[in-house]
Each structure stands twice: as structure tokens, then as C-alpha cells.
Structure 1
């Protein structure tokens, strides 16, 4: 019996490309494992130390290499094969997760082990994140499918954010954190298999003059001398610094404020994932990049309102409801900014611009984690999130005021790329 083919109209444009389908399948499986590990790590750290500050320290060490090394990662990605780079980073990430699993399974794990392995993961991410962002355009066969591919990527990440923590919370409650690390380590096999199954065009080594430091400087000048790119990088940095502190403070709410356990933590993270997934699906089904500036402007305000609501709630259903807005605001900010930057960037500077975006997004998270952990230690987790929410809303208002002027500067690029017809 022949299975009827799915009508072409129902297939999202980017998924018509074989390489992108392989990437989507492998990453989808692996990211569920990654989110399980994130949840398991913060739960384990809080169980071992009962310290908000230590949650901040671990969050800091896992992300700080992105802040310092991402610009050099971008130079590397512009010079060398993104495909080969990703294969190496995925193998290293698998080893890191399996090391965590072995330490946890044997019962010898201590906080310093988690800090060292988190730092190693940070070094891997400093190269992996810009390589992954810059590799997506190579996976789609048609240039016009790129925005759709980026939006699907965000949906995939947040689908994993929904499923991973929910499974992780249940696993932690039933069998312990070690099995979360083990499943994450094994999930990398799917990504590596997907990458090896791809048919990739031979990498043409670009002719690049100047040493790496000059190239880093060139990337900074390119990004920060154009106000629309500069404004988006600065807004992303603010959202990452203040708006994402909730990811390390959620265990305190789950256990101390809402009087729950690992399952409560899993459901709170999953609720954030539902909001994020909704935002990702909306972006994946948008037909055009036009109007994306309004989304970028609105997103931090949605996140800020969600954070303030969550910080004030002492009732689990209300906390879950507010986490929907936290997830929605976060994904609209991250994915819309990414889509815009990938659309307007000059090809020879793609790796460097995406590394600066990684720096503004992932690179600021460790500073936010450290700040959030320290603040929560002194004024409490709830008051910390109120301050974070207010900061996000102020950022949204400032960007809104700049939007008309920024739009005028972007129109010539849209015309040049055929997005707007003369």
C-alpha cells in the first residue's frame, strides 16, 4: 500500500531541502537532551549547595567563554568549513555530557566538577554557536527559504525547551539527575549522524587579508557603525543580561516559594517552552521579514511583564501562566533579531556578525547569571525578577522610539536584496 505524499503546500519551504531536514531531525533530538541537562545541572547544584550565588557561578562559567571568544570564533567560522567545525564541536559536547553522566552515576560528583565541565561546554559553545548560525544558509537550496529556516530553528529549539525540561523533571524525580546527563550524551549521536549523511558542497577557502585581530576589529566596525545592527545587538545584550536571569532562579521559586520539587521545576520550564514554541510557530509561518522591527521592539516588554507577574505569583497555575509570556517574549526577541541580522548581513562577514550576536546574546547571560545570583542572595529571587522585568520594559520603550529612524536606514538594503520592489 502506497503512503500518499504530503502536498507541497503543507511542507514548510526550508524543509524541502534535504540537508536542512537532516539538520532539523538531528538537532531536534539532541536539543531535548541539552535542555534536560540544563535542568538537571541547576537542580543538582541547588541540591548540593542550597545557594542562589552558586547557581549564578555555575551559570557564569558555562557562558563566559562565549563573551570573550565568540568574536574569534566568528573569524574562524568565516575562514574554515562550518560543516567540519560542527562535527568536531558536537563530538566534544558529547564527551562533556558523558563525563557528567559518569561522575553522577558513580556518586562522586562535586560542585567543582560541574564548574569545570560547564566551563569546557562554554569553550565548545563559543565556536559551535557562530558556526551553527552561519551554517544554516548553506543548508537551504533556495535563498528565499532562509528566513523560514531560521524561524523553524527557533521553533525546534523551543519545542525542545518544552519537551526537555518536562521529561527532565520527571526523570530527576524518578531516577535522578545522572540519567538526564547520560541521555543527553547519547543524543549527540543523532546530530553527528545527520551531519555525516549530508551532501555538502566543497568549502571554498575565502581570500581574507589581515590577521585575526584585524578581522575581529573589522567585524566590530561593520556591526557598530550601522545603527540598526548596533541597536539590535544592544537590545539583545540587555535582554540577555537582565531578562534571562530567571533560568537560574527558577529552582528557588519551585522549591522555596511554590513549595514544590523537581517536577514543579520541570513544569515551570515546560510552560516557558510552550510560550516559546507558540512564538516560534508564529515566526515560522510568517511570509515576509517586513514588520519584524515591531516584533523585536515588543518582545522585551512581553518578557518583562511575564517576569514581574511570575515574581509576584505564589500560586502554581498562575506561575505557569506567567511563564508562557516569559517564553514568548524571549523567543520573539532572539529569533526575530537573528532573522533580521541573517537577512541583511554581507556574506563575507556573516560568521563575524553572528559571533557578535552570539556574544550579545549568549555572552551576556553569564554576567546576568552572576548578577542575578548575587542580587537574589541579598534581596531575594522575587525582587530580583521584578528589577529584571522593569529593565526589559524600559529597553523596549527606548527601541520603539528609535524604530522609525532605523527603518529608513534598512529600506535601501531590502530594496537591494529584492525584499522590497522599487
Structure 2
């Protein structure tokens, strides 16, 4: 069992594992930390296989989401039923997300991903079969959503922490950013393909394509060279590991505050599925096509944000805070957009800032966490980020329905802005820094400088 003390945060030599490493062969050059550049991690063969497989399955997953919601609406003619389906898929993460991180720390992550990806494919295939057979009922969709949510509890922390095993500690930032770009690209492609397939053959065939898409990641995982992976130490089985992980995060402010920031933004700032339909129909009085374009604007901006984050060699916490402040401020201001196309253009920038905040926070937490604790830390990260959706969405939905879409969006942005500014001040104080504004000869100078006589955390000061 690893220690939760400050010593646990220091880098450790990866443990040798018979299943994943060989010590009598030199590592493939491709497994070394890649050179810089936006797509540097793709030079690593194992990560390249993972990336391509993920692109296929992510596209299928977005097809499944569109087909699933459409199918529920056809069966029940109820938007509430669609909301229940979404809630059932997120609820397991809210309830069991931390336990998923504990299991990820104990297991061979590659093997765990093989199991979770195969299980997701089987669930998708089962739903496709009953749909194509004309025997589908809404409880089938509810059951499939719940099963997928339970599998995701294990898949998310394993997927997040497996990145460092493929590319090494030095390339985590780039690989995390490319994962986000991968997901956002699929977000643009998947719904469009789903629309074509559903229009031509029905929702069942879109679900069938999703089930087949899991062949991509399974093939990639099986083709990887085990000797080139860099596994971290596994946590031994024992009592109190969940409590140990929580204690570890509490003792490291450079981890807990980025997680808190992502929690606020995930719970309140990312409520666009609630806000955008109201803007399209009630503010700008447009139809389904224009509503779809607003989602496309968000996806384009998110992709741009992920690619820009991939170019960065470093991402200090002050940059995370600054980007989060900019995201909240612009989101609030976008509520005042006087026309549809101005709103469309602003959403691209909002999407880029939001995705950059999330990606850089993910990078900061993964790099700052001890490898033996990384699964539990990322389990908490995903719990806070995704688990807040069932909480924030009803609140923002009520605000939007009561006072209108503009007020709802402004509230989302202002809460994000306030949270980011407050957390920024807390981190600066913990780091023993203060903001200095000097008007001088060369113009205005704004800088963070040490506070005289202030106690500080060296770890936070180094990261901030």
C-alpha cells in the first residue's frame, strides 16, 4: 500500500511487471518521450494504435447517443424519458466513480481496458439486436444506459491513467490534449453519420455500427508492444485504499483545487445541452438545423482548444485559472448576443476556452499525482467533472425556464467566473504570491510576486 504522505508525490521508478514489460530487450525508440509539436505523441507506436482505435469507437459512441435519444423519443414521445436515460448513464459515476479509481490502481490497465471495451461492445450489440428485431421497449434502453454507466466507472480512470504508460511522464500533456481532440472530432463526425444511417436504415443500424466500432480499440490494444509500456506501481489489495486516496488529494492543494475548479465548471459552466435548445427556439426563433449548427460551433471550438493545448509544452496552474476566468466571462457575455450569427461565432471561442480549461486541468492533475495514486485521483477527477451534470442541469434548466435562456446562460458563466477567480486567489495565497500592478515608464506591468513574510507551499508555488 502506498503512502499518502508528501513523499508519495515524488516520482518513482516504474515497477517491473511480467505481464507488461521485459527487461532483457531494449525499449523501442518509439517508446521514448516524443519530440515536441502538436502531434508529438503520435510518434509512439502504442499510443498511435490507441488513438486510431479511440477515433473509431468515439465516432460510434456519438452515433449511439444520437440514435438512443431518438429511439427513446419515438417510443415514449417524452423528453423526460430522454433525460432519465442520460441520468441513468451518469448516475453510476456519481455513486461508484471513486471505487473505479481504486480498481484501476490495482489492475493491469491494458487488460482492464480490453474487458471494458469488449463489454461496451456487447451492450451496444444487445440493444441493436432487440431494436432491429422490432422488440425494443424503453426499459431495454434504460438497462443498456445503466450498464454502460457501470462499465464507464472502470473504463474512465483506466483510460485516463493508461496514457502515461504508453507515452511516459514527459508526454502526458500532449497525449491528454490529443485525446480531447480525438473526442471532439468524433463529436463532429458521429452525429452526422448517425443522421445519415438513421435516415436510410433506422436507429437500430446506427447502434449496430457503434457495436462494431469497438473492434477498433480492441484491435489497437491487442497489437500494442507490451515491452514498450511503462507501467507504474500497482496498489496492493487492502482496506482503506479509497480513504487513503481522498486523504492524499486533501494533502496536496495543487491537486484538489484544479479538481474543485473542474467541478464547478462541469456542474454549471457546461450546461449547453440545456441552454442551446432554448436559445435556438425561444431567443432566435430558429429550427432544428440552426440548433444543430450551434452544437457544431461548440464542437469546432472544443477541437481548436484541444489542438492548442497539445502545442503547449507546459501548463502552469495560473494559465488554467486565467483560461477558466476567460471562459466564464465570455460565456456570461455571450448571453447578450444580439443575433444568431454573433452568438454562433462567440460559441466557437467559448468552446475553445472551455475545452482548454478542462484539458489543462486534466494534465495538471495527472502529472502532479503519484503514479501509485493516479487511478484514485483521476477517479475523483472524473466523478467531480461528470458527476456534477445530474446536479447542475436541473438547476440551470429551472433558471432557464423561469427567467429565460439569456439569464440561464449568464448564470452559468458568472458561477464559473466567480469560482475560477476565487480558486485563483486561494492558490496564489497558498503559493505565497500577490498580484502587483505597476504603472511605469514602459507602460503597465502586471505580475505575481512573493508576499513578504508569507508562509507558502513550495509544491503549489512551483506549479503556479
Distance 1:230 1:9 in 2: 29
1:160 aligns to 2:160 (yes or no): no
Shift of 1:110: 4.1
For structure 2, the 5+ residue unaligned runs are 1-34, 433-455
Paired residues, number: 405
1:362 is paired with a residue of what secondary structure? helix
Distance 1:52 1:249 in 2: 15
Residue number in structure 2 paired with 1:136:
163
Distance verdict in 2 for CA 1:99–1:209, change over 3 Å: closer
1:21 aligns to 2:45 (yes or no): no
Distance verdict in 2 for CA 1:209–1:9, change over 3 Å: closer
Shift of 1:95: 1.8
Match among 374, 380, 383 for residue 356 of structure 1? 380
Deviations 1:354-374 (A, max 9, x none): 111111112222323344455
Deviations 1:187-236 (A, max 9, x none): 1111111111112249787363631xx10001111112222222111111
1:342 aligns to 2:342 (yes or no): no
TM-score (norm 1): 0.84
1:244 aligns to 2:270 (yes or no): yes
The CA RMSD over aligned residues, in Å, is 3.2
Q: Looking at both structures, which has the greater relative contact order when contacts are Cα pairs under 8 Å and sequence separation is at least 6? A: 1
Shift of 1:105: 3.3
1:228 is paired with a residue of what secondary structure? helix
Distance 2:218 2:324 in 1: 35
Residue number in structure 2 paired with 1:221:
247
Distance 1:83 1:304 in 2: 37
TM-score (norm 2): 0.77
Distance verdict in 2 for CA 1:159–1:372, change over 3 Å: same
Could you tell me whether the CA contact under 8 Å between 1:242 and 1:368 is conserved in 2?
yes
Distance 2:160 2:293 in 1: 29
Distance verdict in 2 for CA 1:173–1:73, change over 3 Å: same
Residue number in structure 1 paired with 2:391:
367
Residue number in structure 2 paired with 1:272:
298
Shift of 1:253: 4.9
Residue number in structure 1 paired with 2:234:
206
Please, which moves more after superposition, 94-103 or 329-338?
Answer: 94-103
Could you tell me whether the CA contact under 8 Å between 2:320 and 2:357 is conserved in 1?
yes
Distance 1:338 1:168 in 2: 30
1:62 aligns to 2:62 (yes or no): no
Could you tell me whether the CA contact under 8 Å between 2:106 and 2:237 is conserved in 1?
no
Distance 2:262 2:395 in 1: 17
1:187 aligns to 2:216 (yes or no): no
Deviations 1:221-266 (A, max 9, x none): 11122222221111111111112222355455556664323x4444
Residue number in structure 1 paired with 2:413:
389
Could you tell me whether the CA contact under 8 Å between 1:376 and 1:383 is conserved in 2?
yes
Q: Which has the higher helix share?
A: 1
1:287 is paired with a residue of what secondary structure? coil
Distance verdict in 2 for CA 1:115–1:397, change over 3 Å: same
Could you tell me whether the CA contact under 8 Å between 2:300 and 2:351 is conserved in 1?
yes
For structure 1, the 5+ residue unaligned runs are 1-7
Could you tell me whether the CA contact under 8 Å between 1:236 and 1:360 is conserved in 2?
yes
Match among 252, 257, 260 for residue 234 of structure 1? 260
